[in-house]
């Protein structure tokens, strides 16, 4: 926003609300922001955008990190959002199947793959269904493991150990992103090959990720915020979709769990972290 001419304390004021990564507090936090009567709300995640939509149909809002805003009922269409919300969709359901394909390429013997996600996040429900469909086609059992809050993470990995999961897909949401270092640490401790949707998890010590660049998405959201503050209507601004996905592989993490990455998979990587 500073690059676009908006300077805190000079011509713009920010009021923040943070749910701690959990979806449950979002409706009350959205209501608090609406009572402040701001000129614009910026919100992250599918549950967050849904909470803002329920709290107000008048105050314009820009969202990021929404998996499928049409399927989630946040906008009428990508081209013509139609309401008071628009933004940047990660459109992850369309690419979630790639996570399973890449994980299977890394661990060819895996037949039972768990999926770590927050069941309160509608976007993660869509992504889980995509994985279940592809898993059925590949002869892989997909097991959903719920984490609604940080306290659930330790129990989740104990459960993965009990059921004998061969590998893990961690979907990005408020809970998992906020606790990415702990998740990467536990995956390594249990020697569990894990793929993530954003590179932040690899930077935290995770094995591999396939996904978009969230920093660029926030820049795009800032551009939309700038336009709306200058008079444009969210209803007229099409939802932006990602144009680039990157595969990041952490060779150090692979070595730590005794996993040899196939040369073909290494050749597909956009970046190798050692």
Domain of residue 43, CATH code: 3.40.50.2300
Pair 174, 100 in one domain: yes
Q: Of 199, 218, 201, 221, which Cα lies nearest the Cα of 210?
A: 199
Number of folded domains that form the chain: 2
Distances in whole angstroms, Cα of residue 127 to Cα of each of 69, 110, 159, 198? 13, 20, 21, 14
**pTM for this one?**
0.82
Structural domain boundaries, residue 67: 2-90+214-236
One domain, residues 253 and 175: yes
In a domain, 135, yes or no: yes
User: Are 147 and 258 within one domain?
Assistant: yes
- What pLDDT digit, counting tens, does each position of 144-165 carry? 999 999 999 999 999 999 999 9
Angle between helices 152-163 and 180-189 (to 10 degrees): 30
What value does the mean pLDDT take over residues 13-42? 94
Q: Are strands 167-170 and 194-196 parallel, antiparallel or unpaired?
A: parallel
Q: Are residues 31 and 162 both part of a single domain?
A: no
**Mean predicted lDDT score pLDDT of the chain:** 94
- What is the side-by-side strand order in the sheet with 167-170? 141-146, 112-117, 167-170, 194-196, 208-211, 246-250, 271-273
**What contacts 47, CB < 8 A, 6 or more positions away?**
23, 26, 120, 121, 122, 174
Q: Is residue 241 in a domain?
A: no
Looking at the fold, whether 85 and 99 belong to one and the same domain comes out as no
Give the pairing type, strands 194-196 and 208-211: parallel
Same domain, 136 and 264: yes
pLDDT score of 214: 76
């Amino acid at each position: 926003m500073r690059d676009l001419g908006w300077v805190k304390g000079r011509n713009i004021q920010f009021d923040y609300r943070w749910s701690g990564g959990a979806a449950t507090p979002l409706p009350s936090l959205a209501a608090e922001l609406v009572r402040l009567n701001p000129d614009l709300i910026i919100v992250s995640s599918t549950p967050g955008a849904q909470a803002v939509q329920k709290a107000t149909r008048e105050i314009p809002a820009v969202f990021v990190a929404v998996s499928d805003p049409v399927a989630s009922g946040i906008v009428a269409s990508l081209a013509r959002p139609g309401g008071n919300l628009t933004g940047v969709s990660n459109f992850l359901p369309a690419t979630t199947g790639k996570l399973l394909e890449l994980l299977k390429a890394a661990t060819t013997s895996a037949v039972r793959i768990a999926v770590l996600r927050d069941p309160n996040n509608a976007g993660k429900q869509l992504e889980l269904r995509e994985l279940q469909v592809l898993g059925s086609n590949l002869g892989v059992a997909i097991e959903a493991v719920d984490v609604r809050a940080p306290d659930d993470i330790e129990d989740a990995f104990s459960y993965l150990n009990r059921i004998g999961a061969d590998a893990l897909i961690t979907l990005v949401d408020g809970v998992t992103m906020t606790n990415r270092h702990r998740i990467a640490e536990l995956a390594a401790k249990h020697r569990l090959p894990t793929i993530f949707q954003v590179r932040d998890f690899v930077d935290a010590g995770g094995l591999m990720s396939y996904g978009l660049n969230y920093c660029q998405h926030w820049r795009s959201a800032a551009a939309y915020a700038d336009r709306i503050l200058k008079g444009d209507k969210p209803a007229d601004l099409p939802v932006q979709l990602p144009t680039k996905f990157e595969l990041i592989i952490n060779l150090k993490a692979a070595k730590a769990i005794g996993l040899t990455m196939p040369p073909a998979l290494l050749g597909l990587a956009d970046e190798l972290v050692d």
